[in-house]
Every structure is written in structure tokens, then in C-alpha cells.
Amino acid sequence: MQTRILQPGEIEALDKTSFPRVLLPQVSTLFAERAARLRQLADGNPIADYLQFAAKIVDAQHAAAGSVELQPMDRSNIERSQQFSMPLLPAADHIDPAWQQVLNAMLDTLSGSEGLPEPLQPLLQSLRDLSQDERDTIAKRLLQKEVAARHIGMAPFIMAALQVTYAKRAAALDVEDVPYTDPATICPVCASEPVSSVLRIGGKANGHRYLHCGTCCTEWQLVRVKCSHCESTKGIHYQSIEGGKEVVTAETCDECGTYRKVVNQEKDPMAEPLADDLATLTLDLLMSENTQFKRASANPLLFVAVAEEQTDAQSAELVDPAAE
């Protein structure tokens, strides 16, 4: 009798009670649902104006997502990634030229009658005036977690356009294409960091924790009570705003000194990883003021809309978005 060793994907296929290890983005509804959640969270929120601003950006993402077509991924890349347990397309090294088309479409939407208010239109024009090479340079720096101070105001728009292209590329994959990667704290599709983690409800994912990629919106499973930054199981604690509903808590790690938020759909079925992370800026401020923990990664929409005037020297300085 011959014995054959099953590969990881085959094991899950045979176990009908298993939960999905990866949830690929559903681009047709992702951005529309995120925009609706941002508007819902804006009601009575101290940063309501910013959430409404972010919702308009996400509206523009939704509109642009339906018009861009991407080339299918090379099967040899998939096979190589699976062989070496590495992410499929590390974001900073695989910027699809189609992101420029997405950005232009978003700028058209945001410049229209239902777009951003007049004071922000010069910022949109400055994005239009950049050459494609200049845009690509800024995009690559953002994906490498750095950006020149003079470009901070452009960052949410550029990251939003990149997010559409990476989400569409991820959505075109089969779950079986996604490799098992090490470390488990970076996205197995684009090698980016998670913006937050989410406790899912419904279906086979019910009750399981997933990390939500801030770049391609892929989610991958990670056990609870484990640091989503260094994978330590020691010294894990949870912080929340006193008197709140605890839909969003900050998971802290004594080992690496960082925190990342956990968004709990068991507390609110409408909770959305990126939107709820953005809407709980008060929790970030409390963590900054009252603890020694540092935020593990940035929210791609968490930038001020208009950067302050800079001197030439200040404008050239690179900053880490996660530190803002």
C-alpha cells in the first residue's frame, strides 16, 4: 500500500469543516461598503470631516475599479512563490502601470460636482501636473513606508489608486494560488503589512481572526492572542476607550513594543477593518499619550489632506507614514 503525503492545500480541501486561511477581496462591493461604513462612523465622531473626506476618496476608488483592466499574473511567478514560500508580488517591486489610469479616473471623479470641496482642488491639480515618473517615484516611496514631507498631502490619493490596482490583482487569484509564507505577519499576496486585524462572523470564517492588508485588501488568518507584528504569544494585552463598545481594541505586545487594532464584528456586524481603524483615531492618540507602544503600521488614508508649507530642506526630508 502506497502512502502519499498531502500538501497543505489538499488537507483543507478534504476537511469540509475547515475555515479559509485566505479571504481574497471582493472588489465589486469592497469600496462601496467601505465608503458607507465611513459615513456611518462619521456621525458624532470627533474627526467627522476627515471621515467624510475619506469616504469621497473611497467613492472614487469604487468608480475607478470598474474601468481598469489588468494583465493576468504570470503562472511562473505563482509557482516560484509557492516553491519558496514567499509573497506573490511584493508591492514596491511590482507597481502595475495601470495605477496611473486609476489615479486619473479618481481625480476626474473628485474634481466633479460631487467631489471634493473647492479648497482641495489645487491639491488635485498638483497631482495631475506630476509626470508619470514623478508619480511612480512617490508611489514606490510610499510602498516602502517613506515619503517626502512635501508629498504628504498627495499620499492618500496615491495610496488609494495603488490599492485599487493591487486589490483587483488579488481578486483575480484563486485561493490555491496564494502561498504559505513566513513570516505570517505580512501579506502573502503583496508582502505589505496589515492595517488591522478583524474577527469575522458568518460562514466558515466565523469566529476566526484575519489580518487585513492595507495595500491589496487580502485577508489571511492568524490565531488570536498572538502579536500580528512579531508573532509572540507572550505579553499580549488589549486596550480600549473606557465606556466604549469595544468594537475596536488595541492589541499590544510587550515583546516588540507595538500595537495594532483588532476590529470585532462580533460586537458590530458592520465593522470594516480599514474604516473602523481610521475612525478610532482617538484610540491612537490615547495610546500615544498614555503608553509606550508604537503603532505597528499606517492606515493608507491616514494623512492630512493638505500639507503645511515647508522650507526646501523640510520638503526633501523623508518621513515614515506609520509615525504620523
φ, ψ (nearest 5 deg) of residue 240:
-145, 165
Instruction: Give the model's pLDDT for residue 303.
Output: 60
Q: What ranges in 186-249 are assigned the alpha helix state H?
A: none
Residue 211 falls inside a structural domain:
yes
Instruction: Give the model's pLDDT for residue 112.
Output: 87
Residue 317 falls inside a structural domain:
no
Mean pLDDT by 10 residues, the chain (324 residues): 51 58 96 98 96 97 92 85 91 94 97 90 95 96 86 93 97 94 93 97 93 98 95 95 89 97 97 97 95 95 49 44 47
Residue 171 falls inside a structural domain:
yes
Residue 16 falls inside a structural domain:
no
pTM: 0.88
Instruction: Give the model's pLDDT for residue 217.
Output: 98
Instruction: Give the model's pLDDT for residue 4.
Output: 52
Residue 291 CB coordination number (10 Å): 14
Could you read off the pLDDT of 52-107 as tens digits, one per residue? 999 999 999 999 999 888 888 888 888 899 888 899 999 999 999 999 999 999 99
Residue 279 falls inside a structural domain:
yes
Domain count across the chain = 1
Residue 4 falls inside a structural domain:
no
Could you read off the pLDDT of 158-183 as tens digits, one per residue? 999 999 999 999 999 999 999 998 88
Strand partners, 239: 250
Find out whether the peptide bond into 97 is cis, omega within 30 degrees of 0: no
- State the DSSP code for 210: E
Owning domain of residue 39: 22-295
CATH number, domain of 201, equals 3.90.1670.10
Residue type at position 60 = A
C-alpha cell recorded at residue 77: 511567478
Residue 9 falls inside a structural domain:
no
- Report the distance separating Cα 191 and Cα 152, nearest Å: 23
- Report the distance separating Cα 189 and Cα 180, nearest Å: 10
Residue 110 falls inside a structural domain:
yes
C-alpha cell recorded at residue 309: 508649507
- Report the distance separating Cα 248 and Cα 268, nearest Å: 10
- State the DSSP code for 273: H
What is the DSSP secondary-structure string of 82-119? HHHT--SS-GGG---THHHHHHHHHHHHHHSTTSS-GG
What is the pairing mode between strands 294-295 and 318-319? unpaired
128-133: which pairs have CB atoms within 8 A and are 24 or more residues apart? 128/104, 132/100
CB of 70 closer than 8 Å to CB of 165? yes
